[in-house]
Amino acid sequence: MTKRNLGLGLLALIVLIQFIPIKRTNPVEAGPLPVPQAVETVLERACYDCHSNKTKWPWYSGVAPLSWWIVDHVNEGREHLNFSEWERMNPEDQKEAMEEIIEEVEEQEMPLSSYVLGHPEAALTNRDIEVLREWVQSR
């Protein structure tokens, strides 16, 4: 097989996979998250794209195969913790989630480095982490 044929085949494959349907969704929220504005600002900037129903889908999230990875990542993030469903959680689960949030951000596990690479504004500062910690401690 020549390089030209290989290139044309790859191009055809890339075009064809664009027709595989993928759902990028933003379901209706259960209700607004009752947090102070400073906490909301941090969560919106660093967490909501993957952990809420307020995902801002960038243009490239509609281009396969990248779209498959992004949609799967968002679905997994929402499954693990969805701030849009916070009001449906019982208080014990909320408390557990808050403790996990602090643990994840203090250990720099969240936001994911792959997300921050494309969204540098999502990187958490020490002050951001302190805002989240104060929120958790106030509850």
- The residues near 88 (Cβ < 8 Å, ≥ 6 apart) are 30
Q: Are the C-beta atoms of 23 and 71 separated by less than 8 Å? A: yes
Is 41's pLDDT higher than 90? yes
**With pLDDT > 70 as the criterion, what percentage of the chain qualifies?**
99
Question: How confident is the model over 128-134, as a mean pLDDT?
Answer: 97
- Does 47 or 13 have the greater pLDDT score? 47
Tens of pLDDT, residues 74-111: 999 999 999 999 999 999 999 999 999 999 999 999 99
Is 46's pLDDT higher than 80? yes
Domain map (residue ranges) of the chain:
23-137
- Does 126 or 20 have the greater pLDDT score? 126
- The residues near 99 (Cβ < 8 Å, ≥ 6 apart) are 136
Q: Which of 1-15, 66-80, 112-126 has the lowest mean pLDDT?
A: 1-15
Quote the pLDDT of residue 64.
Answer: 94
Q: Residue for token digits 């401690």?
A: 137
Closest CA to 97 of 24, 43, 41: 43
Helical pair 126-137 and 37-46, crossing angle rounded to 10 deg? 130
Q: Are the C-beta atoms of 63 and 18 separated by less than 8 Å? A: yes
